[in-house]
A = this chain, B = another copy of it.
């Protein structure tokens, strides 16, 4: 069967770090449920970058990334739900839905694609968030 051939080829490319990629994605998403900003920041390499949205100036390093999320947390509670995840070597791309709840009880939903790349030590070297006007409702 064609699909068995394609799956075998994909299996043959699977490398050890993919398990770590899946762990980091899971921990990243879980950090939103538990509102654990420190835990989320700790997933990044010391010089890791976060670009949100893609095309803006990336934040670099724990201090800059923490400041961004702390400012967000002062305004919103964020729920993140994973839709689809594709892991390819040390990189991943995933669909997620972020639901933002503000202090007044209002909410908005942003559907995004994020791409993540780990460094050799298994920490996030780069996280990039793609979304646009059409993904907000």
Interface set of A (CB-CB < 8 Å, partner B): 1-3, 6-7, 10-11, 13-15, 18, 53-56, 84, 86-95, 100, 102, 106-113, 115, 130-137
Contact at A112–B132, with CB atoms within 8 Å? no
Nearest Cβ on chain B to A77's Cβ, whole angstroms: 12
Residues of B within 8 A of A18 (CB): 132
Contact at A13–B55, with CB atoms within 8 Å? yes
Contact at B100–A2, with CB atoms within 8 Å? yes
Known: A55-B13, A91-B55. A130 touches B115 (CB 8 A): yes
Residues of B within 8 A of A115 (CB): 93, 113, 115, 130
Nearest Cβ on chain B to A132's Cβ, whole angstroms: 5
